[in-house]
């Protein structure tokens, strides 16, 4: 009976092991407890000493779960790739963070050279008030720094030379008038054949000579800068006021409008003779000044007359700056420095640019038209690449760009950005920081 039971169990185990490999371990356990071992001729699946079925079933499930997890991971990764470089930001957030947005359009890149220079007065706007006659300073009507108008009287001299010239002219005028009267009388007598012809001709000759002398005296006044009509008018005024005389007075006038920048004499100073001061004042119109530049031969070929120039009083932030232009490029080189003189005209309405001041001139030497131009403040560096942040419906998108030529303010974009796209041009570093934060959160 025992043998029959054993045979039945073995057969059942073989059949069950072939049908359900997972229970072979259990059958083997039963057989082992019964003191039986499988024969070597039994099938490998039936006599396997490892729990094949329990391990195989979970492996299949794990494989399916792994496939699902892998697929979900790929989907999540693809979504992450789609969102990489994107920053979600509402219009209100953009405004609150003061992120400026502008279109990336074409424009001009201006290249410059930096040259040190010195402010000097415009030589066309500086003049001296000379002492044209020998005399003594009687009045100094302007002080240093005073503003003057063109032809305004700035000083008065007491001059014997002027008195002689005025007297000669006034005498010539009186003599010419007397000789004219005599000539008119002689001509009337000659017309009536009352007097001799010789008397008429003699009166004519004397009158002609008197007119010539008057003309010579007027020219002498003119050489001294005096007006003959004004001298005659003042002489009549002197007749009405015997205690005053303008005969010796010589008025000096400013040749241009400006300011008194130099005063060389005082009241009572003798002027006009050899060894005496030749000038009383220096008047300068500083509404425009010059910048004297020395440009090397390397850069000289690039500098052109009419080129705009940005002049700065210093390199520190907030230094005064003004726009001028090149008015002269010397065709001659300095033999010692191998450089040429370049002159820049600079407006100076508020008189803040003082002659003698050292400045830095930024001279424009070229202009390049580019299809896409972005300001330097719009560029950021991310992972070693230059990027801009392009405005999208949901916020901003990081965009890698290839850069070309540049100037002090902007770059040319060769690729990566199309004309007309809106980009962040102010506070773009906030977007870079936000991008870094988003990528850090994504990594975690």
pLDDT at 121: 92
pLDDT < 70 stretches in the chain = 1-84, 242-244, 315-318, 438-444
Q: Determine how β-strand 321-333 pairs with β-strand 308-312.
A: antiparallel
Considering only CA atoms, which of 392, 425, 368, 312 is closest in space to residue 88?
A: 392
DSSP 3-state of 194: coil
pLDDT at 41: 39
Contacts of 298 (CB under 8 A, 6+ apart): none
User: What backbone phi and psi angles, to 5 degrees, belong to 151?
Assistant: 70, 10
Contact 3, 35 (CB under 8 A): no
Q: Where are the domains of the chain?
A: 2-50, 89-106+371-443, 111-122+286-365, 128-283
pLDDT at 82: 37
* 51-68 b/e (C-beta count within 10 Å ≥ 16 → b): ebbeeeeeeeeeeeeeee
What are the C-alpha distances in Å from 114 to residues 158, 309, 311, 338?
54, 10, 10, 17
For the record, the structure tokens of 325 come out as 């232009």
Q: DSSP letter string over 95-132?
A: HHTT-EEEE---EEEEEEEEEEEEEEE-GGGEEEEE--
Rounded to whole angstroms, the Cα distance separating 143 from 132 reads: 21
**Which CATH number describes the domain made up of 89-106+371-443?**
2.40.420.20
User: In angstroms, how far apart are the furthest CA atoms of the chain?
Assistant: 204
Tell me the per-residue pLDDT of 220-239, one tens digit each, with 9 for 90 and over. Answer: 988 888 888 888 888 877 77
The domain covering 111-122+286-365 belongs, at the CATH homologous superfamily level, to Efflux pump adaptor protein, beta barrel domain (2.40.30.170)
Q: How many residues does the chain have?
A: 444
- What CATH class has 128-283? mainly beta
pLDDT at 242: 67
Rounded to whole angstroms, the Cα distance separating 150 from 145 reads: 15
Contact 248, 234 (CB under 8 A): no
Question: Which letter does DSSP use for residue 277 in this model?
Answer: -
pLDDT at 16: 44
Rounded to whole angstroms, the Cα distance separating 180 from 167 reads: 20
Give the pTM: 0.56
């Amino acid at each position: 009976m025992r043998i029959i039971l054993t045979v039945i169990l073995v057969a059942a185990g073989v059949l069950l092991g072939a049908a359900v490999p997972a229970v072979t371990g259990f059958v083997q356990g039963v057989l082992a407890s019964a003191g039986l071992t499988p024969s070597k001729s039994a099938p490998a699946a039936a006599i396997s000493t490892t729990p094949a079925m329990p391990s195989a079933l979970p492996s299949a499930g794990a494989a399916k779960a792994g496939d699902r997890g892998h697929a979900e991971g790929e989907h999540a990764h693809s979504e992450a790739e789609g969102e990489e470089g994107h920053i979600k930001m509402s219009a209100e957030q953009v405004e609150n963070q003061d992120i400026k947005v502008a279109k990336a359009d074409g424009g001009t890149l201006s290249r410059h050279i930096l040259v040190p220079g010195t402010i000097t007065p415009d030589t066309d706007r500086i003049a001296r008030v000379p002492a044209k006659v020998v005399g003594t300073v009687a009045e100094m009507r302007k002080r240093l720094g005073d503003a003057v108008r063109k032809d305004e009287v700035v000083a008065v001299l007491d001059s014997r030379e002027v008195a002689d010239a005025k007297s000669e002219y006034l005498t010539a005028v009186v003599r010419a008038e007397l000789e004219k009267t005599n000539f008119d009388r002689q001509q009337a007598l000659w017309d009536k054949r009352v007097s001799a012809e010789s008397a008429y001709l003699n009166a004519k000759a004397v009158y002609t000579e008197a007119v010539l002398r008057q003309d010579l005296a007027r020219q002498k006044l003119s050489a001294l800068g005096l007006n003959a009509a004004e001298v005659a008018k003042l002489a009549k005024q002197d007749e009405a006021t015997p205690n005053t005389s303008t005969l010796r007075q010589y008025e000096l006038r400013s040749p241009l409008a400006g300011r008194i920048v130099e005063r060389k004499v005082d009241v009572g100073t003798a002027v006009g003779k050899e060894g005496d001061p030749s000038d009383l004042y220096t008047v300068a119109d500083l509404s425009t000044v010059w910048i004297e530049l020395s440009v090397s031969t390397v850069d000289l070929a690039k500098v052109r007359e009419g080129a705009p120039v940005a002049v700065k009083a210093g390199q520190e932030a907030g230094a005064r700056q003004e726009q001028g232009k090149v008015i002269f490029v010397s065709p001659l080189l300095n033999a010692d420095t191998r450089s040429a003189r370049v002159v820049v005209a600079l407006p100076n309405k508020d008189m803040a640019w003082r002659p003698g001041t050292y400045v830095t001139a930024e001279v424009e030497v070229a202009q390049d038209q580019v299809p896409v131009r972005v300001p330097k403040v719009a560029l950021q560096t991310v992972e070693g690449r230059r990027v801009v942040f392009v405005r999208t419906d949901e916020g901003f998108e990081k965009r890698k760009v290839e850069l070309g030529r540049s100037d002090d303010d902007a770059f040319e974009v060769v690729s990566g950005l199309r004309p007309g796209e809106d980009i962040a041009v102010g506070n773009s570093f906030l977007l870079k920081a936000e991008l870094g934060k988003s990528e850090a959160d994504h990594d975690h």
